[in-house]
Amino acid sequence: MDTTTYRAYTNIALIKYWGKRNKELFLPVTSSLSLTLNEFYTETTLEWNTQSNEDTFTLDGQILDINAIEKVSRFINMFRDLSGIHRPVHVKSTNHVPTAAGLASSASAFAALASACNDLFGTNLSNKELSTYARRGSGSATRSLFGGFTVWHKGIGDESDSSYAEMIDEADWDIGMLVVMINKEQKKISSRVGMEHTIKTSPFYKLWPETVAEDLEAIIPAIENRDFPTIGQIAEHNAMKMHATIIAADPSMTYWEPESLTAMNIVRDLREAGIPCYFTMDAGPNVKVLCRLSQAEEIKKAFEKHFSSDRLVISGPGKGPHKIS
C-alpha cells in the first residue's frame, strides 16, 4: 500500500481535560469525557514520500512551518519505530474545523493521523492502543479515536499504556450540539499556555482533580440512563469550574469574549422558557450548546436573533475514525 486516507471527528469534552501530569507523555491530571461530533472532522492522506528524504506536510493546501512539521515528524517517528519502516512520508490534511478556534482541530487531526499511520505502517493497533499514541500529538485527540460518549482514563503513574480512551455509550439517541462560533481567528493564548499558567498561579486549581472525579462519577450513570438534564447540568458546571480556575490565575485571564456571555445568557433564557439546553466552553471563546438534537433547530432560531446563521452549526454525534480510501 502506498497511500491511505482517514477521516476522524472532533470531540467536545463534557468533563474537561485541563492539566498534564507528564508533559512529555501527555498524561493528564484527571480523566475526562467527551461527545464526538459528526460535523467537524479532519481528513488526512498519508503516503510514502518519493519526492523528498524528509517528511513533508500540507494543511488545507498550505505548507506548514518548520515547528509544525517537526512536531508531526516526531509523532510519525513513533510508528516508524514500531514498524521498523524508516521511510519519509507526505501528509496532506484537510480540516473541516476552524483551526485553533477552540473547536479542538488538533483532536481530529491527530486522531486521523494516528489512524492513517497505523494503516500505512501496518502496525495493526486497536483503537484503544492507538488512542495512547494519538494522545502524544494532542491530549484531546485521545478521545477522537472513538465516537459517541468517550472516556479518556487518566491512567497510572508514568505508564503511557494506562491512559487510553474508551467509548461508554454510542450516543445513538436524541442528543447533539449547536456550536456558536464567536471567533474563527486564531486564539491569542493557546490552551497549552493557558493550562500551564493556570496550574502555576491559580489557587483554585488544586481542587480541580477532586471536582472532576465527582463530576465523572455522576455523569457516567446519567449517560447510561439517558438523563439529559443531569448530563447537561454536570457538563455546564464542570466547564464553568474549569473557566473559574483560569479566571483566578495571576495575572487573571479568560478565554471568554463579550459574545460568549451573550451566548451563555441565551442558553439560560432558553432554559427558563422550558427548553433544556446547557453550554460548555473550551480554551477559546466559542460556546457549544448541548441539546436534544430534535430541538436544535428551535434553539438555533433563538440564537439567530443575535448571531448570523453562518456562525451557528448543528451537529449530531460522530463515530470513530474511518478509512475513506
Q: Which residues pair with 47 in a beta bridge?
A: 3, 90
Judging by beta carbons within 10 Å of its beta carbon (0-12, 13-18, 19+), is residue 272 exposed, middle or buried? exposed
Closer to its own copies by Cβ: residue 74 or 206:
206
Residue 218, interface with its own copies (CB under 8 A)? no
Closer to its own copies by Cβ: residue 85 or 213:
213
Residue 197, interface with its own copies (CB under 8 A)? no
DSSP string, 166-188: EEEE---SS-EEEEE-S--SPPS
For the record, the C-alpha cell of 240 comes out as 464553568
Residue 236, interface with its own copies (CB under 8 A)? yes
**Among 69, 82, 248, 275, interactor with its own copies by CB under 8 A:** 248
Residue 162, interface with its own copies (CB under 8 A)? no
Sign, CA torsion 153/155/158/160: negative
CA distances from 82 to 76, 190, 315 (A): 10, 31, 36
Closer to its own copies by Cβ: residue 61 or 251:
251
**Among 83, 257, 275, 295, interactor with its own copies by CB under 8 A:** 257
Closer to its own copies by Cβ: residue 71 or 237:
237
Residue 22, interface with its own copies (CB under 8 A)? no
Contact mark string toward its own copies, 264..303, x via CB under 8 A: x---------------------------------------
**Among 49, 254, 292, 314, interactor with its own copies by CB under 8 A:** 254
For the record, the C-alpha cell of 183 comes out as 471567533
Q: Which residues pair with 169 in a beta bridge?
A: 149
Sign, CA torsion 225/228/231/234: negative
For the record, the C-alpha cell of 24 comes out as 512529555
**Among 93, 94, 127, 211, interactor with its own copies by CB under 8 A:** 211
Judging by beta carbons within 10 Å of its beta carbon (0-12, 13-18, 19+), is residue 294 exposed, middle or buried? exposed
**Among 41, 75, 121, 256, interactor with its own copies by CB under 8 A:** 256
Residue 186, interface with its own copies (CB under 8 A)? no
Residue 25, interface with its own copies (CB under 8 A)? no
Q: Which stretch binds its own copies (CB under 8 A): 88-96, 130-138, 166-174, 249-257?
A: 249-257
Closer to its own copies by Cβ: residue 242 or 302:
242
Q: Are strands 56-59 and 20-22 parallel, antiparallel or unpaired?
A: unpaired
Q: Please give the Cα distance from 53 to 107 (Å, whole number).
A: 28
Binding site for its own copies (CB under 8 A): 203-204, 206-207, 210-211, 233, 236-237, 240-241, 243-245, 247-248, 250-252, 254, 256-262, 264
